[in-house]
Amino acid sequence: MPTLTDAFQSGGLVWRGLVPWDKTEASRAPHKGYFRHQAEYVVWGSNGPLAPAVHGGPWPGVVRERVDHRKKFHMTGKPVDLMRQLCQAVPPGGIILDPFMGSGSTGVAALELGYQFIGIEQDGHYFDIAAQRLADAEAPHTAA
């Protein structure tokens, strides 16, 4: 995580902090004698100064959202409901960047909420899955 936050800042973005994601007690437990893999940390920031929000907040400093393995398209896929909650901090119509897009859960949430989305994924297989999911999420907004 320290390397990620350094890269974040080296790229010219302003690191704002971490938001713990509590995956609930339904999260994976490796085996007896270990702690459950119940939490992950979201690195968040902005492209330059961040004015006080007029569209909402403050939002919870810890997000609790269960993983439904039946809705995952990637080994480390995140729930779209989780990503919807995290997108709230972005001003309406803003741009959301996910440099590790995977199967596109962040993009699906962003498009459903009316945000612009930029996703980066190096694995062609998952890029194709994400592209289809993004097209499906965008379709209701473009149909007239």
**pLDDT tens digits, residue range 14-73?**
989 999 999 998 887 777 888 888 999 988 888 888 888 888 889 999 999 998 888 888
Residue 102, pLDDT score:
95
Q: Which domain holds residue 6?
A: 2-142
Instruction: Mean pLDDT check: name the lowest of 104-108, 128-132, 136-140.
Output: 136-140
Query: Which tokens in the block code for residue 38?
Result: 């119940």
| pLDDT at residue 80 greater than cutoff 70 | yes
- Give the residue among 42, 133, 48 at the shortest CA–CA distance from 88: 42
Report the domain count for the chain: 1
Query: 105-116: per-residue pLDDT in tens?
Result: 999 999 999 999
Residue 142 is predicted with a pLDDT of: 64
Strand partners, 7: none
**CATH number of the domain bearing residue 61:** 3.40.50.150
